Amino acid sequence: MAIEELRDARGATNPLFNSNRLKLGVFGFNVSRGATITLAEGAFEADWPTVRRIGQLADAAGFEALVPVARWRGFGGPSNFNGATFETYTWAAGLAEATRHVAVLSTSHVPTVHPIVAAKQATTIDHISGGRFALNVVCGWYQPELEMFGARVMEHELRYEYAAEWLEVMRLLWTREDEFDFDGRFFHIKRGVHQPKPIQRPFPGIMNAGGSATGERFAAQQADMAFTGLPPGDSEAWRTKIDRLRDLAREFGRQPRFWTSCAVVCRPTEKEARDYLRYYVEEKGDWEAAGNLVREGIGRNHVLTPEQRERMTYRIVAGYGATPLVGTPEQIADQLVKISAVGVDGCLLLWVNYEQGLEQWNDQVMPLLEQAGLRKPFQPEAG
């Protein structure tokens, strides 16, 4: 089945494959402090009533995606950033039942769950949601976390070989009607079988965020939604990166949609927005926890100058490395027009205070995106 035919088939139930030029998601609201490493007042704390309200706010506004962070332990510091977490498959199942339109994703560390178990969990959520599920596949990089499982901390290239085989097994389970044997490098399956099949045929969409050259090739080959960070700089730098990734995917005969993340600070004036950014990053940021994250996530594999480390840590505190959207509603809408113009298909959004941020977004920013032609007015079907 061709890629476009796949999108059309899954688009019947899953909004990730709809026709909006710029799709929107909410990122990281299953973990304490969300995706901003700050002690500022109003920062997100993980409790289920708040999670459900956030999911329903996004659902009612026509967002396409709810995406969690796969996390099993925090990063220390005064906030112990992400120390309290909801497991992502059950989180997605709960939100699937609490929503009606938005796609719900699980983020899965492939070393921590067998593909037979993951395939069954994903299928169950796909049925609960009526075909609105997708899976964000991650290879795992936080060594103390993987050590909790007794999982082998694999060399970088090997992680992606393991993940590719993990997905191969999962897709066989999702598509094969008969029993099958699988004898791979990492998995050995005897008489594998899986029923029922997912609602989405042949299977739910896959998201992946590959930042290294190996990770980018993996996403190009495996992902329907390739998640990438936009480099600091102007829109030409963004365009260059997206064009390069698109060309890479074409080498494998694929056309994934490209997603990125954006940290939103929206205020009536630009000065108020920039003042608040300084407040929650420079005055209230947990730089100790952010330093731990940078050391574990990047420092193990890269040598950073002090200047590089400081710039990176600032952006991590501000929003897990996301592109900042700082200013008035009009300025933020203008920035998203530029992001869309370079070939980005979707943005995962995050705020210090998700509820307040979403309410303001739905009221003040979403209409501007519709006026700009990036989105169609949301008209949920009856029932």
Task: Give me the domains of the chain, ranges plus CATH numbers.
Answer: 3-371 (3.20.20.30)
DSSP per residue, 292-303: HHHIIIIITT--
pLDDT tens per residue across span 139-167: 888 888 888 888 777 888 999 999 999 99
Find the mean pLDDT for residues 337-360: 98
Is residue 301's pLDDT more than 60? Answer: no
Please count the other Cβ atoms lying within 10 Å of the Cβ belonging to residue 233. 10
Q: Tell me the sheet residues that pair with 27.
A: 67
Q: How many CB atoms lie within 10 A of CB 20?
A: 18
How much of the chain exceeds pLDDT 90, in percent? 84
Res. 312: pLDDT tops 90: no
| DSSP secondary structure string for all residues of 51-78 | HHHHHHHHHHHT--EEE----SS---TT
Phi-psi region for residue 10, left (φ > 0), alpha (ψ -120 to 50) or beta? alpha
CA atoms within 13 A on the CB side of 191: 0
Strand partners, 183: 188
Closest CA to 357 of 73, 47, 20, 28: 28
Q: What are phi and psi of 19, to 5 degrees?
A: -95, 5
Q: What is the pLDDT of residues 251-276, one digit of tens each?
A: 999 999 999 999 999 999 999 999 99
The whole-number pLDDT of residue 3 equals: 46
Counted residue by residue, the chain has a size of 383
Mean pLDDT for the chain overall = 93
- pTM equals 0.94
